[in-house]
Chains A and B, each alone.
Chain A
Amino acid sequence: MNGLLATLEPLLFIFISPLLAGWIKWIKCRLQNRRPPSLLQPYRDLAKLFRKTPVVASHASWIFEATPYILFASMLLAVAIIPSIAVHLPTASIADVIALVGFLALGRFFLILAGLDIGTAFGGMGSSREATIATLAEPAMLMGVFTLAMSANTTNLAIAIDYVLDSGLVLRPSFVFALAGMVMVAIAETGRVPIDNPATHLELTMIHEAMILEYSGRHLALIEWAGQIRLMLFGVLIANLFFPWGIAETLTPDALTKGLAAMLAKLMELGMLLATAEMMLAKMRIFRVQDYLGFAYLLSLLGMLSHVILEVG
C-alpha cells in the first residue's frame, strides 16, 4: 500500500504540472483581455513534441543527448521527496531538503553544460547567465530552508511540516522573512517575469530559452516538462512548508482526497497570485538581478537572525 502510494503520488504530481502552467497562462490571458488557450494546451504541445524526431547537431557530444533525461530524472527524484498530498510518504524520509537543493542543482548543471556543448553563441550566453543566477539564488534558498530547519530542529521536510502543523498559528517573524526570501528565489529559479520571461524568444533578454535553443522533438518535450515540474515543485514546497493546513496526515483514502483537494486549491491560488504579479511587473535588466537576489538573501538572513534573536532564549 505504502509503496503503491509512493509511486502514484510523484506520477500524479508530474502529470498535473502541465495543467498548472496552462492555468497560469489562462489567468494571464484573461487579465490581458486576450482569449486564453485551452487549459489542456500544454499537454497537446508536449504530445506534439514527443511525436517529432529530434534533430541533433553533428558536433553534439553525449552530454547534449543525455541532458534531457538527466534533467527529467532529477526532477522526478526531487518530486518524490516533497510531501505534496500526504506528509508521511515513505520516500519523504529518504532524503532531506539539502538533497532536494542538490537534485535541482544537478539538473541545472547538466542544462548549463548542454547549453555550452553545441558551441553556439546563444547557448553559451544563456549558460553563463543561468550559472550567475544559480550561484546567487542557491545560498538564499539554503538560508531560507535553514531558518525553517532551525525552528523545527530537522532538515527533513515531512518532520518540519509536522512541526508547523503541531504548533498551530504562531506569529513567527523568521517564517515571514524566510517565506518572502523563498518566493523571490522561486521566481528567479523558475525563470518567471522579473528575472526571465518564459514567453519570449528575444535574443538579448532570454536566459533559459537561450540554453535550450538547439533542442527539438522529444528532448525539447522533456526539458519543457521538467520546467513545468520545477514550477509546480516550488509552488508545492512553499505552500506546504508555510501553509501546510489541509495536507493528509494519515494515509486513509478520505484524508488523501482532502489532501489532493487542498493542494490543488493552494496551487490555483498561487498561480493566480503569480499571474497577477507578472502582469504588474516589468522584466528587470540582467545586471539588476544580483541586487534582486542579494535582497532575497538578506531576507533569508534576517529570518535566521530574527529566529536566533527573538524566538529562542
Chain B
Amino acid sequence: MNDLIHHPLEEQAILFIAALVIFSSFLMLAQKRLASLVNVFAWQGLLLALATALSAHTQQSPHLYFSAGLNLTLKAMLIPWMLSRLIVKLDMHREIEILLYPSITLTAAASLVLFSYYVVLPIEHLSTLATRNAIAVSLGVILLGMLLMVTRRQAIAHVVGFMAIENGLFFAAVSATSGMPMVVEMGIAFDVLVAAIIFGVFFFHISSSIDSLDVDRLNRLSENES
C-alpha cells in the first residue's frame, strides 16, 4: 500500500498543493465577481509555481526552477494584472454575474474530477515519479476550466477559463514527467501572453460594437432581432 506516510515531506507538500490547486478551480466556479475570479486565478498561478519549484527540488531538475519563475511572473502576476486592469477600464468591476444553478455546477465539477480520476488511473502506472497521483488533479483542472467557459456568459470569464486549462496542462507536464522541454515551455508561455493581449484588444472591439461582453448576445445576427 503506497500510503502518504512513506513519502518525504516535500512530496507530501506537492500533493497538498495539488489539492489546493483543484480547490482553487472549484472556487473559480463559485465566484460571482469578475475581479475576485481573476484574484483566485492569480492564486492558482502562485500555487502552481510553488509546486513546480518543489518538484524541481525533489526531482533534482534545475530547469524546472526556470519554469516556476516563468509561471510566477506570467500566470500569477502579469496576466492577472492585465485582466484586472481591463476589468476596471471596461467598468465591470462592480458587476455581479448571476450564476445559473451554482449547486448543480459544483456537483458537475465534483463528478468531472471523479471522471478524470478514472480516466487517468491506467496512465498513472506508466509514470515513475512520486507525484504521479497529481495527474488526475491536472486533468480535473483542465475539465473544470472548460466547465467555467461553458457556464459563464462574460467573455473575460471565458479567458480565465482558457488560462486555467493551460494551467492544468502545465501542471500535468510537471507532475507526470519532469516538465516539458524548455523550448516548448517558453513557446507556450509566450503564446499565452500574446493570447491575453489579443483577447484584451478583442474585448474593446466587442464591447464597443455591442455594448456588452455578454457572449450570448453574439449569437444574434442583427440588431433588430430581439
Hey, which bits of chain A sit against chain B, CB under 8 A?
167-168, 170-174, 176-177, 291, 294-295, 298, 301-302, 305-306, 308-313
Closest to A311 in B: B4
Task: Across the interface, name the chain B residue whose C-beta is closest to A167.
Answer: B5
Q: Interface 1/0s, chain B 1-21, versus A by CB < 8 A?
A: 111110001001101101110
Contact A171 B133 (CB under 8 A): no
CA gap between A39 and B84 in the complex, in Å: 50
Within 8 Å of chain A (Cβ to Cβ): is B155? no
Please determine whether B5 and A298 come into contact, CB atoms closer than 8 angstroms: no
Alpha-carbon separation in the docked complex, A177 to B22 (Å): 12
Residues on B lying within 8 angstroms of A by beta carbon are 1-5, 9, 12-13, 15-16, 18-20, 22-23, 26, 30, 102-103, 106, 110, 113-114, 117, 121, 124, 133-134, 136-137
Give min CB distance, A249 to chain B, whole Å.
Answer: 19
What's the Cα separation between A29 and B12 when bound, in Å?
41
B23 near A310 with CB under 8 A, answer no
Question: In the complex where A309-B133, A310-B133 touch, is A177 in contact with B1 (Cβ < 8 A)?
Answer: no
**What are 8 pairs between A and B in contact, CB < 8 Å?**
A171-B4, A171-B15, A173-B18, A302-B26, A305-B110, A309-B113, A310-B15, A311-B133
Known: A177-B23, A298-B26, A301-B110. A309 touches B117 (CB 8 A): yes
Q: Do B19 and A302 have beta carbons less than 8 Å apart?
A: yes
Whether B12 contacts A170 by the Cβ 8 Å rule is yes
Q: Which residue of B lies closest to A303 (CB)?
A: B19
Q: How far is the CB of B3 from chain A (nearest CB, A)?
A: 7
Contact between A310 and B19, CB atoms less than 8 A apart:
yes
Q: Are B137 and A310 in contact (CB under 8 A)?
A: yes
Bound-complex Cα distance A312 to B30 (A): 28
Task: Give the chain A neighbours of B12 by CB distance below 8 A.
Answer: 170-172
Assuming the contacts A306-B22, A309-B137, asked whether A173 and B110 have C-beta atoms less than 8 A apart, the reply is: no
User: How many cross-chain pairs have Cβ atoms below 8 Å apart between A and B?
Assistant: 71
CA distance A171 to B136 in the complex (A): 19
Contacts of A167 on B, CB cut-off 8 Å? 5
Residue from B2, B3, B16, B106 within 8 A of A171 (CB atoms): B16
- Using Cβ atoms and an 8 Å threshold, which residues of chain A touch B15? 171, 173, 310-311
Bound state CA distance, A176 and B22, in angstroms? 14
Bound CA–CA A158/B110 (angstroms): 31
- Pick the contact of A313 from B30, B106, B110, B124 — CB < 8 Å? B124
Enumerate the 3 nearest inter-chain pairs by beta-carbon distance, A residue then B residue, closest first. A173-B19, A171-B12, A306-B19
Question: A312 to B110, Cβ gap below 8 A?
Answer: no
Q: In whole angstroms, how far apart are the Cα atoms of A171 and B19 in the complex?
A: 11
B34 to chain A, nearest CB (A): 19
Given known A-B contacts A302-B19, A310-B18, A170 and B106 have beta carbons under 8 A apart: no
B133 and A170 contacting across the interface, CB-CB below 8 Å: no
Most buried by A among B22, B23, B106: B23
Residue of B nearest to A304 (CB): B110
A9 to B13, CA, bound (A): 38
Residue of B nearest to A301 (CB): B110
Across the interface, name the chain A residue whose C-beta is closest to B140.
Answer: A309
Nearest Cβ in chain A — how far from B7, in angstroms? 9
B113 surroundings in chain A (CB, below 8 A): 305, 309
| A302 to B12 CA separation, bound complex (whole angstroms) | 17
- The 8 Å CB contact of A294, one of B4, B23, B103, B124, is B103
Q: Is the CB of A170 within 8 A of B5?
A: yes
How many angstroms between the C-alpha atoms of A110 and B81 in the bound complex?
55
User: Given A305-B114, A308-B117, A309-B133: A171 and B13 within 8 A (CB)?
Assistant: yes
Assembled-state Cα–Cα distance A308/B4 (Å): 11
Cα-based distance from A128 to B18 in the complex (angstroms): 40
* Complex interface: chain A residues within 8 A of B110 (CB): 298, 301-302, 305
5 other A-B residue contacts (CB within 8 Å) besides A302-B22, A306-B19:
A170-B4, A172-B12, A291-B102, A306-B22, A313-B2
In the bound complex, what is the Cα–Cα distance between A291 and B32 (angstroms)? 13
Q: Which residue of A lies closest to B134 (CB)?
A: A310
Q: A312–B3 contact, CB under 8 A?
A: yes
Residue on B with the closest CB to A306?
B19
